[in-house]
Structure 1
Amino acid sequence: MAYMAAMLEGLTPAHLIIAAPRGFCAGVERAIRIVELALERYGAPVYVRHEIVHNKYVVDRLKAMGAVFVKEVSEVPDGVPVVFSAHGVPKTVPAEARDRGLDYLDATCPLVSKVHRQAQRLIEAGRHIVFIGHAGHPEVIGTFGQVPAGAMTLVETEEDVATLSVPDPENLAFLTQTTLSVDDTAAIVAALHERFPAIKAPRGEDICYATSNRQAAVKAIVPKVEKMLVIGAPNSSNSLRLAEVAEREGVPARLIQRAVEIDWEWLGKPKAIGLTAGASAPEVLVDEVIEALSERFLLTTEEAEHVPEGLTFKLPRELVA
């Protein structure tokens, strides 16, 4: 019956499976709320160093509310508050704000802050740190900025491990960026253990719960779909990883920021489509993509089963007092 109805309407039937969990994580929700509350408390403008999270829709909405996004603290005028992004910042950034007498709010995700604290403890213990991450990512820059120059070495691939030179192979530890591919990171960690058997692992998993859960959610639905759409920004590490997970499982995937970016020729007329969203993408964008798909297909939808995450992080005391 659905097929006949589709033919009558001139639409092709398609089944949409929506991954779960998806979208905002607790760290992103906290960071956005910090900017919103700062605007309520101090009034506009409130300055934000770098994108608060990697999502244009979110950034544009906050701009409309009175947030001003800048690259460096030096661009912030005297006498106005500044918020640091969820990705974390080097120690020099809050130091610069204090030197200038600026009020600042640190929206660093608590799970990133946990990695920062681990890095500091390892350096205090005299260990050299091998950091698994992507060069140039704000989280990597922020973590390197927690320790003295030369105390940490970046590796991005298993090949990097093979050529890695360290001062003392018997006195190493490793940490990771929180938004990496779970599978890729496991392979790099295995290579580190094989080459440096004495290397010290983190106390707990550095890759955050949201990154791991969203990758697992994609793996759960890709056997049932022919194409995968991932809503996220091109500079969002965790979103890029979701597309990579689908591709690795043999399902063509595309990263899009909004419904308008759907490449209909690439999408074609699959019988089943997968949809997910990175940890910085709001649910309104998921709804937007579903609406766009429903205009092109006779769409049936299914949300994958999942256990709700339920994690929340406390807001800064100065905003909730």
Structure 2
Amino acid sequence: MNAPFQSPGESSRGNDPRLPLKLLIAAPRGFCAGVDRAIEIVERALEKYGAPVYVRHEIVHNRYVVDSLKAKGAIFVEELDEVPDDAPVVFSAHGVPKAVPAEADRRKLLYVDATCPLVSKVHRQAERQIEKGQHILFIGHAGHPEVIGTMGQVPEGQITLVETLEDVASLPFAQDDNLSYLTQTTLSVDDTAEITAALEERHPRIVAPKAEDICYATSNRQAAVKIIAPSSDLVLVIGAPNSSNSLRLVEVSQRLGTDAKLIQRADEIEPEWLEGVGTLGLTAGASAPEKLVREVVDRLSEWRLVEEEPVTAAEENMIFKLPRQLTE
């Protein structure tokens, strides 16, 4: 007796009416060492000093993380003048201008600096370049907290922001001027390479940083998207709209010709996005916890029969030490 006819994939699905969906999950994704450290700093400060602990600016750019810390007793503010004199305050992972800890010292505030060590490294480089009499060209995005913090490490007028190739072309410096450059840690690797190449062509004597300023986590997450995007019909990036590294992941996919959407939570996904999609790429910016990734997988599984396939671009095992004041 002949076996009954089965449509493709039916044998593996049984009577499940959901269409199959291959889910390419990028690795590395989500939290980096600097974000892990910053969140733990707030949690340790709450344990040590008790609630409330004030945090200047979002500790990292993720609403879920911020709301979770609020529930534990953290109060988020934009400026130090919102912090009472007797309350502890944490500075965000993005870094702050020198004027901020100076003001905290003046007010004798108890503060903990959660600046990512890789951002602090850029701050130190900026100081050294100024000591050598170099004018700094800083590649970054205007208004981003990391850019504000880094530009605030040096005297006004000694650093110039460069955002685009057009900015490079309009710089008012001569070829023999004493210049150096630094970059924001969460930029597009490819865009930054184009801008630095243009700077070096226009100003052959410009001094480059001793090591790459774009952090390992940003580079690794972009590398993973470069692997999954060409094989995907759509890429979802979990991250906040004010998260630089998350926005760059969307751009990386789009430049490879694959549509990408930035989402903060699973409930933002619309079922029609999956029409005609057989393979979906999924990643998360460096401020997004793994819990949100699993939420998205569960949401997709409501509509499709999901087959997860991890795609690894690099292994990460970086750990940053906590400030001594929280470990003693």
TM-score w.r.t. the length of structure 1 is: 0.97
Stretches of 4+ aligned residues off by more than 4 angstroms: none
Q: 1:3 aligns with which of 6, 9, 16?
A: 9
Q: Retained in 2: the 8 A contact 1:12–1:269?
A: no
Partner of 1:118: 125
Tell whether 2:192 aligns with 1:192.
Answer: no
Give ranges in structure 2 of 5+ residues lacking alignment: 1-5
TM-score w.r.t. the length of structure 2 is: 0.95
How far has the Cα of 1:155 moved from its partner? Answer: 0.7
Q: 1:222 aligns with which of 216, 220, 229?
A: 229
Identity of aligned residues (%): 67
Q: Deviations over 1:100-123 (max 9, x none)?
A: 111000000000000000001100
How far has the Cα of 1:272 moved from its partner? Answer: 0.3
Partner of 1:91: 98
Q: Which deviates further from its counterpart, 197-206 or 266-275?
A: 266-275
What letter matches 2:77 in structure 1?
A: V
Q: Deviations over 1:8-64 (max 9, x none)?
A: 432111100100000000000000000000000000000000000000000000000
What letter matches 1:149 in structure 2?
A: E
How far has the Cα of 1:263 moved from its partner? Answer: 2.8
Q: Retained in 1: the 8 A contact 2:137–2:182?
A: yes
How far has the Cα of 1:307 moved from its partner? Answer: 3.8
SS in 2 for 1:298: strand
Give ranges in structure 1 of 5+ residues lacking alignment: none
Q: 1:248 aligns with which of 236, 255, 259?
A: 255
Q: 2:275 aligns with which of 268, 271, 281?
A: 268
Partner of 1:201: 208
Partner of 2:323: 316
How far has the Cα of 1:224 moved from its partner? Answer: 1.4
SS in 1 for 2:54: strand
How far has the Cα of 1:126 moved from its partner? Answer: 0.3
Compared CA separation, residues 168 and 101, structure 1 to 2 (3 A) = farther
What letter matches 2:9 in structure 1?
A: Y
The separation in 1 between residues aligned to 2:281 and 2:290, in whole angstroms, is: 15
Partner of 1:39: 46
Q: Retained in 1: the 8 A contact 2:224–2:312?
A: no
Q: Deviations over 1:190-216 (max 9, x none)?
A: 100111111000000000000000000
How far has the Cα of 1:306 moved from its partner? Answer: 4.3
Q: Retained in 2: the 8 A contact 1:19–1:303?
A: yes
SS in 2 for 1:289: helix
How far has the Cα of 1:6 moved from its partner? Answer: 4.9
Tell whether 2:201 aligns with 1:183.
Answer: no
SS in 2 for 1:24: coil
Task: Answer with 1 or 2: which has the greater Rg.
Answer: 2
Q: 1:234 aligns with which of 241, 250, 265?
A: 241
